């Protein structure tokens, strides 16, 4: 299992590498700042560095979430921040929370992701089908639940998460945006991928690659 510091560094590197593509998606149906917003946010999380490894995973993720809320001006900062804070709070509140350097169990991670997504739903007053990051996060969470209940081997489970993220992103193309700036376009948002779903897929893929040890 990579350290928390390494996971965050790998996500930040993937966001940086894909920032221009995310900005392109946001230029089509938003205001063209999504890549820059997330790059600023995840660079700040990665800059926490070894400080993250000194904390239990639950606390480290809450700290990372607060950093995103503070550093990112756009809608996506508070939303991704809520996601990480919700995940972190759930992990920290587990019956036997993993200590610094420890790894929560797959079922604890599945439960935590559900809690994080609920925080995004509440903060964003949004849900599946609104053409947002949730259209990637919710299918990934469902795939994780399913994989954990079937006790899939970790490499297979990671494949399923990647496939769910890819399908979720693609599903946003046909949707009409009901939340965020893209909703101002109404029908004209149809036919474009959602930028936040795009970053969701990039983040999930980066985490999976990091967990496989291939990055």
Residues at the interface with ligand ADP (CB under 6 A):
26, 30-31, 33-34, 37, 74-76, 79, 120, 124-126, 132-134, 179-181, 194-197
Name which of 11 and 197 has its Cβ closer to ligand ADP: 197
**Using CB distances below 5 to 8 A depending on partner kind, what does residue 168 bind out of Mg ion, ligand ADP, none?**
none
Closest CB 159 distance from ligand ADP, rounded Å: 24
A 10 A CB-CB count for 190 gives: 15
Closest CB 23 distance from Mg ion, rounded Å: 9
User: How far apart, in Å, are the Cα atoms of 62 and each of 59, 69, 80, 105?
Assistant: 5, 11, 11, 18
Rounded distance between C-alpha atoms, residue 64 and residue 48, angstroms:
8
Residues in 74-113 at the binding interface with Mg ion, rule: CB under 5 A: 74
**Using CB distances below 5 to 8 A depending on partner kind, what does residue 133 bind out of Mg ion, ligand ADP, none?**
ligand ADP
Name which of 92 and 134 has its Cβ closer to ligand ADP: 134
Rounded distance between C-alpha atoms, residue 94 and residue 27, angstroms:
41
Torsion of CA 119, 121, 122, 124, to 10 degrees: 110
Those residues whose C-beta lies under 8 Å from the C-beta of residue 200, and which sit 6 or more positions away, are 133, 136, 137, 140, 165, 168, 169
Closest CB 26 distance from ligand ADP, rounded Å: 5
CB 140 within 8 A of CB 164: yes
Eight-class DSSP state of 3:
-
Rounded distance between C-alpha atoms, residue 26 and residue 163, angstroms:
23
For the window 10-49, what string marks contact with Mg ion as x by the rule CB under 5 A? ----------------x---xx-xx---------------
The residue sitting closest to Mg ion, measured at its beta carbon, is 30
Closest CB 21 distance from Mg ion, rounded Å: 14
Q: Which residues bind Mg ion (CB under 5 A)?
A: 26, 30-31, 33-34, 74
């Amino acid at each position: 299992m990579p350290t928390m510091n390494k996971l965050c560094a790998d996500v930040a590197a993937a966001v940086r590498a894909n920032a221009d593509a995310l900005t392109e998606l946001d230029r089509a149906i938003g205001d063209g700042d999504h890549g820059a917003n997330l790059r600023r946010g995840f660079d700040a999380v990665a800059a926490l560095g070894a400080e993250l490894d000194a904390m239990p995973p639950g606390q480290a993720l809450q700290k990372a979430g607060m950093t995103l809320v503070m550093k990112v001006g756009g809608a996506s900062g508070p939303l991704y921040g809520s996601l990480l804070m919700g995940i972190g709070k759930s992990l920290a509140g587990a019956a036997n929370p993993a200590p610094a350097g420890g790894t929560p169990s797959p079922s604890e991670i599945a439960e935590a992701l559900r809690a994080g997504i609920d925080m995004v739903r509440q903060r964003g007053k949004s849900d599946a089908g609104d053409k947002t990051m949730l259209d990637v996060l919710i299918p990934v969470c469902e795939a994780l639940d399913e994989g954990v209940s079937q006790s899939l081997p970790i490499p297979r489970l990671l494949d399923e998460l990647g496939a769910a993220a890819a399908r979720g992103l693609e599903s946003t193309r046909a949707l009409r945006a009901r939340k965020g700036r893209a909703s101002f376009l109404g029908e004209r948002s149809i036919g474009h991928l959602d930028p936040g779903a795009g970053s969701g897929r990039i983040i999930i893929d980066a985490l999976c690659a990091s967990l496989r040890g291939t990055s």
